[in-house]
Amino acid sequence: MGELGQKLEGRVALVSGSGRGIGRALALKLAGDGARVVVNDLDADPAQEVAEEIKAMGGEVAVCAGSVTEDGFADSFVKTAMDTWGSVDIIVNNAGYTWDSVIQKMTDEQFDAIIDVHLKAPFQILRAAAEPIRVLAKTEAEKGGVHTRKVVNISSISGLYGNSGQVNYSSAKASLIGLTRALAKEWGRYNVTVNCVAFGLIHTRMTQAIEGEAPPTLDIGGNEVRVGVQPHMLQMMEQIIPLGRGGTPEDAANAVYLFCIPESDYVSGQIVVAGGGLLI
């Protein structure tokens, strides 16, 4: 990763779902630019592995493992940052997964689970951060300083345009855009920018090619959730992406990073697609 940068030096960043994939890439990116990072993953081991990578870079890190949908998680996540470094400067709501079915086969449990992880959990994390951010902003204003904080929510082109078999995921990701735009208006007085990055096809374990008859699964709250994409579907998707390829976790992390740095301090309430030019 190279030597630590200075652009985000001293900033405290909370990144949910940062033990793997896009979240891991972003945690390393932010830490490499000087941020102190609270790493989170559903499982403790991946979170700790990323923490060790950050420490090896010379960065500062704390771990808050657990599901973002658990009761009390949001408060613990924010408390980890406040107890360790006394600030919350960047929040990235990245954690999530898909649990697909056509609507006639989708259960209430499937629908609610995806709404909970992609919409309710970000809402709860941001609500938990509201009072610390208000107090910090007031204290800084009294001292005559201006400190811009950042929120980046992660949506999807499925949230912008819908996707067959994903009424739950598309609904959650579309709603997250509404949350983003509402909070941009609500938190502007605290010098907080609130933006959203909508991903297209990004190559992670969620979008890996299915090999053989048995698709890979994730254990989510005792449920085996199928992940992966049929190889012919991946090939077709890549053919319609103007840049000719799906994105890497680093590509996705770089798009989020743009909303975390000082150069975007006057950009708020915006939705940017990181999809290689794919817009439908």
Question: What number of other Cβ atoms are within 10 A of residue 49's Cβ?
Answer: 15
154: helix, coil or strand?
strand
- Contact criterion met (CB below 8 Å) for 27 and 37: yes
Active-site residue 257, yes or no?
no
Q: Which of 169, 190, 257, 266 is catalytic?
A: 169
**Among 85, 39, 83, which Cα is nearest to 62's?**
39
User: CA of 184: how far to CAs of 73, 86, 180, 266, in Å?
Assistant: 23, 23, 6, 11
Distances from the Cα of 269 to the Cα of 54, 71, 175, 249, angstroms: 30, 28, 14, 24
d(CA 111, CA 131) in angstroms, rounded, equals: 31
Task: Compute the distance between CA of residue 92 and CA of residue 110 in angstroms, rounded to an integer.
Answer: 24
Report the catalytic residues.
169
